[in-house]
Structure 1
């Protein structure tokens, strides 16, 4: 990375992905004292067994993109992350097996991120029953909650956002029926509901979904109850 002629006040994007970084990020790190930082990418580094620090909340007034995937972070995700209300893209996926987001923080994340377009939480331990209403950004294009241990029925309002293009909800404990509102996603390209053994999709809902999703390229319903659908 070229640092010449760059002062802390000028840095708007910092990409340290695959940088062979190790150790612990301390709350007082200079990373959290860059007043104009809009994009921060720490993906594919080795912070194994360390916690992501609370200091990230200091960037709440400006940060739009945050990627800390594949970093080996463990323990609880700091609640300060829900203060990053200007985020357009957030990727916390593929960290340590106990990297977790408490249920109230999970709900606040959706409540506060009103301009979010991409959310990737694959492998983050949430272990929460989904609320009946999930306050999703109307701009959301990518929703990835694979392998997060979320439970319960799918909130109907998830599928009332025409901006959605990719939805990944596989390898969870979702139950009940896939709501008919799933057919209200005209821009959907990918849908993965696989490995939810107690989830069911009704034949008429599935047919309407296929008829209306004209941009659809990938659908995965492995281990989802599809009894009654004529193949």
Structure 2
């Protein structure tokens, strides 16, 4: 652990400095591959905990709000398009934004799959793709099977690809337009709408074309919305009031 002055660009045209911010250093990172494309060296803490960056900034009189908007891979001709982490008044607010409540972690029971099909869920930009507990994953798998049967699509389950469990063969003519969207519906009725290109990964070679559900089974009972499913969404955390705001946005343009 160490302490340092963190300096941020400001909408005032100058910079804002936060002195004595505590942070940690990693020197032996493992399992930080993101879809096989990049390797991170650490994760910024943004929880309600006293040592998270957001809590430390709020204790220094800065806003407890922060936001990001993660672009699609390859948008705007970039292999890894850039984006910004925004704070306070620098966060853009646009029409069409939805709001749900954030809940402080109350224990493992929040992830229990209930008879109504509901469960608690984490939203996390540090995990590449979403994790669903067994009950939720199986329910989604069944829903996809029924959807493809109803549509009359001749898709067949194939062996795991890219370490993704649920994969289907597809005709070469099938793309994202022929695949369904998905919505994470929250208890207040708001929903995070995920387009097909953020639900599935299309791949293949000259002989075989396929697509895979870009989600994993959780190793425990938790559920989590990962970064892949958050692409082209403006995500705004209001940690002071315990609210999450979200809405569709072209992140490679607005950042």
Shorter chain as normaliser: what TM range?
under 0.3
Scaled by the length of structure 1, the TM-score of the pair is 0.22
Higher gyration radius (CA)? 2
User: Which one has the bigger strand percentage?
Assistant: 2
Scaled by the length of structure 2, the TM-score of the pair is 0.21
Relative contact order higher in (CA < 8 Å, ≥ 6 apart): 2
